[in-house]
Structure 1
């Protein structure tokens, strides 16, 4: 007959723990081997998804502003901005001042493109006056498509919704380089803000802005779309259309389009 003999609890516990500790040791050895095996692949994955090649969707003004604040804080050489005209709330102007002032103090160059209508905006002119002594250049052009911010050829920001609640942060070198070329194309055709009003009247009695309106009219755009693209309110746009009609002797909207095409004013270099 086999008899069971009691042993001290410490001995029984040690026997039970021994098998568990052995299993833990084997599991730990396995985890180390797996980590070493996957390490080369993890490094490749990290390189492929590095922030320098990323396209990030930013949702909400708080997140957009946080990303802009970080980019401007890291900017050391130059910032390029495209700012379509339109009324900017005082709070947004203050945000812009707070973001740009440290750049100027660090000696960062800033080049900004506005539409011609910004020359008649007291808010914009007051904003420009704050940085009159810095390395800042302002130019205006008749038509801009959308907002754009580029920092040091490293990162660009563009809106992807009309309400500007969603934006893209672009850190892909190819995309940023392309957007810089687009900016330089527009910059080369823009007028320095210090050069005075660009709405000079040609010998044909039509101003530069009216030439821009004529082009958009012939393309079939309605008054609201023309006003939005040229950065003016609809009433001002319609006033320019009326003056254009008077200069060409048009009695109706349909006739105006015909007279614009027939006059050859769109063939001129403005």
Structure 2
């Protein structure tokens, strides 16, 4: 393909003329090539990891926007719903589930009829043995039905002994991969129904059955799955700068995006104290005395983008 040839040539030479790159205009559109500040008649290649990172941030923004719109639609639907609470119309495509008992009943119903595949995104770091024990009967039921189960966790979850015991009881019927961070909790059954939180404490959830929306959520999950590390594989190490670990590099990128310590801790599945410990180490490694200095040094060191 012209795009592969042009991009390969630009990587080999460090830059490529606009005339040579003309057959592959898509590289500029995707951000894989950008003008050379010293001479705009030349184009230089962009690190592919940066492009992927930008695309994933765009996907997260789209997902957040979908959730906000879904919440508004669900709120209006509840206001004009039939007077009998909890009764869903046969053609209902979006339902607000309030209270954990009601949420769990809906998930149990989806589990009971699941026949092909289940996708789960678990963002909360190490899952408690109690939560895993509660989830085990559902997983065993799906295993008996031959359901393929895919689960995404943060890297921190690898340190939980409960997860290892849980997987041993399922005898390899669940495929697990991990990432530095994942988005909110997400469950998808058979590409037919999905569940996403609708409140910060997860006491309210949305049951989504609109085919287009469910397929969108499947696409989001699959893109994260493609980037994740299988549980049996070792994690990548190093942050690209001497004295800075990969996790500290991830935290630096999130700080550069303006996130607070609490938000960073939640996204990485760690507690706030651990997060602040990493920030202190990051400040020491970069020789910073203040948060303002830290922001400048993060950008100067090229740590304002997630590691590849």
Does TM, normalized by the shorter one, top 0.5?
A: yes
Deviation of 1:192 after TM superposition, in Å, equals 0.9
Q: Which residue of 2 aligns with 1:67?
A: 106
Distance in 1 (CA, whole Å) between partners of 2:220 and 2:177 is 15
Gaps of 5+ in 1: 1-48
Please show how residues 97-136 of structure 1 align to structure 2 within 5 Å: 97-134=136-173, 136=174
Aligned to 1:223: 261
Q: TM-score, normalised by structure 2?
A: 0.67
- For each residue in 1:83-124, what CA deviation from the matched residue of structure 2 results, as whole angstroms up to 9, or x when unmatched? 112454544222200110111122211000001111122223
| Cα distance per residue 1:8-33 (max 9 Å; x no partner) | xxxxxxxxxxxxxxxxxxxxxxxxxx
Work out the CA distance in 1 between the residues paired with 2:150 and 2:161. 20
Give the distance between the partners of 1:86 and 1:51, measured in 2 at CA: 37
Of residues 168, 191, 195, the one that matches 1:153 is 191
Judge conservation of contact 2:191–2:215 (CA < 8 Å) in 1: yes
Q: Residue 170 of structure 1 corresponds to which residue in structure 2?
A: 208
Task: State which drifts further: 236-245 or 146-155.
Answer: 236-245
Mean Cα displacement is larger for which, 80-89 or 49-58? 49-58
**Residue 84 of structure 2 aligns with which residue?**
none
TM-superposed CA distance for 1:233, in Å, is: 0.6
1:209 aligned partner: 247
Q: Distance in 2 between matches of 1:69 and 1:267?
A: 40
Provide the rounded CA distance (Å) in 2 between the counterparts of 1:269 and 1:234.
Answer: 21
The whole-number CA distance in structure 1 between the counterparts of 2:307 and 2:260 is 24
Task: Name the SS for the 1:123 alignment partner.
Answer: helix
- Report which of the two has the higher share of helix: 1
How far apart are 1:207 and its partner, in Å?
2.1
- Pairwise CA distance, 1:50: 6.3
**C-alpha deviation, 1:71, in angstroms:** 0.6
The normalised TM-score by structure 1 is 0.75
TM-aligned CA distance change 1:131 to 1:196, over 3 Å: farther
Residues 1:85 and 2:132 are matched in the alignment: no
The higher relative CO (CA closer than 8 Å, separation ≥ 6) is in 1
CA positional deviation for 1:142: 1.1
In 1, distance between residues paired with 2:149 and 2:91? 22
RMSD: 2.0
Residue 195 of structure 1 aligns to a residue in which SS?
Answer: coil
8 Å CA contact 1:52–1:171 kept in 2: the answer is no
Q: Does 1:246 align with 2:277?
A: no
Distance 1:218 1:68, change over 3 A: same
Shift of 1:211: 1.4
Q: CA deviation at 1:132?
A: 3.8
Displacement of 1:197 after TM fit?
Answer: 3.2
| CA–CA separation in structure 1 for the residues paired with 2:210 and 2:306 | 39
Residues 100 and 137 of structure 1, relative CA distance in 2, 3 Å threshold: same
Residue 57 (structure 1) aligned to one of 93, 96, 99: 96
Contact 2:239-2:249 within 8 A present in 1 as well? no
